[in-house]
Each structure stands twice: as structure tokens, then as C-alpha cells.
Amino acid sequence: MITIRPANARGVTDFGWLDSRHSFSFGEYRDPANMGFRTLRVINDDRVAPGGGFPTHPHRDMEIVTWVLEGALEHKDSLGTGSVIRAGDLQRMTAGTGIFHSEFNPSPTEAVRLLQIWIFPEARGLVPGYDQRSFPAAERIGQLKLVASRTGRDGSISMAQNADLFAAALLPEQTVTHTFEPGRSGWVQVATGSVCLNGQILKEGDGAAITDESKMELTGVTSGETLVFDLK
């Protein structure tokens, strides 16, 4: 079964410097029917204006994954990490027992767009940690590129949950497939462009829960990027 979460049904937060769309309940946006999916808790589609950003704030007991689509995001945290995350980069922060961090758009002229994803960890009280890796577009065109996984296999970033995250950059009529093991489910998030998922059209910003399906077929309709989650 495929259940579509339309882009225009998402929650909205607009602070001027931040335009955020929430696939699941987040902050002041509360939707009891959309509190997450399996171990996936948050997908926020954020656009941060030039010079804008999130001042230092705490997190704990969550795997926080950031995928930058356009522009660059500057990150600093209480582990002493300082980095710039650019388009095609994936960042994973294990909040664990507690971490403080800030995120800013360092550009005075260009906005940054990113997907911030929260995944419940497999255990509470983990040691905080950080990793960042680049996945060039050439590695993602016409394929499902594994970018995060429990074991960090195939060059992906490791995270403390039995989940796989794939990124696909599909051109029109390019098709990728994925098989779900028994008992597992999927979530598809269209970041840009549009795709056909098992015969159903998804447009930019749309999400879809995949349950009780053994196979997923994803075909590009217009060029763009899509994230695919394989979840316990």
C-alpha cells in the first residue's frame, strides 16, 4: 500500500529568514495523524535566507541527518566540529546524551535549501558524534545511491538505527527499483522534480509511505532528486 503525503498538506513555519515545510508534526505544528513513520520522526524542507540561521540550541537522543539541496550551510557544535555543508553533502549528528549546535547560511546573497531529517536511535544515551560526507551528483544519476546505513556499508555514513537512506537523481524515464525485506517499510520524499512511484505520480515536496509492498519502482518524470528510506 502506498499512502501519499501531499506537499501542500505539510505544516508551515515562516519566520521571514526561514521557510520550513513539515512532513510530520514539528515545533508548533501539531498533527496527531502525522507524528512520523516507523523510526522516521521528522522531515523538514527548510529554506534559509542569506545570513539567516538557527542560533545555538540543544538536542538529545536523536539521529539528525541533513541533506543540502542548494547553497551551503555552516555548522558548529559542542564537540568542536566546524564545517560547511554544501549541495550533495550529507551530515549525520548523533545527539545522544546531549549536544549543542548552530546552523547558519554564511552567504550574504544566496539562500540555502536543505532537508533536515530526524530518526529515532536504536538506544538512548549514546555518545554524541558527527560525520559528514560528499556524494557527487554523478554517483546518484539513474541509481539509488546508499548514503546512510546502520553499518556504514558501501561508503555510506553510519547511523545508530537499522535504517537505510538512499539518494537518487533521476532524469526523465530513468527507473530504479528497490526490494523490501519482510517486515520493513519505505518512505519516499521527492526533494525536487517529479517521479512515478509504483504507478502513482509524486511531485516536488510530496512524500509517500510504503507498507506491505515487496518492491518499489521509481521512474523519473521530470529531472530531480528523491530520497528513499528503508525502515524497520
Q: Does residue 1 belong to any structural domain of this protein?
A: no
Write out pLDDT tens, residues 159-182: 999 999 999 999 999 999 999 999
On whether both 151 and 110 belong to a single domain, the answer is no
Q: What is the pLDDT of residue 189?
A: 98
Q: What is the mean pLDDT of the chain?
A: 96
On whether both 87 and 45 belong to a single domain, the answer is yes
Among residues 77, 104, 135, the one where a domain terminates is 135
On whether both 103 and 156 belong to a single domain, the answer is no
On whether both 113 and 150 belong to a single domain, the answer is no
> Among candidates 135, 226, 142, 222, which has minimal Cα distance to 188?
226
On whether both 47 and 121 belong to a single domain, the answer is yes
Among residues 135, 170, 188, the one where a domain terminates is 135
For the segment 13-38, the average pLDDT, to the nearest whole number, is 96
Neighbours of 225 (CB within 10 A): 22
On whether both 90 and 175 belong to a single domain, the answer is no
Beta-sheet strand order (sheet of 82-86): 53-59, 99-104, 72-77, 82-86
> Among candidates 97, 49, 57, which has minimal Cα distance to 75?
57
49 in Cβ contact with 115 (< 8 Å):
no
Q: Does residue 2 belong to any structural domain of this protein?
A: no
Overall domain count for the chain: 2
Q: Which domain holds residue 106?
A: 10-135
Q: Does residue 4 belong to any structural domain of this protein?
A: no
Strands (E), 107-159: 112-119, 129-134, 145-149, 157-158
On whether both 118 and 196 belong to a single domain, the answer is no
Global model pTM greater than 0.85: yes
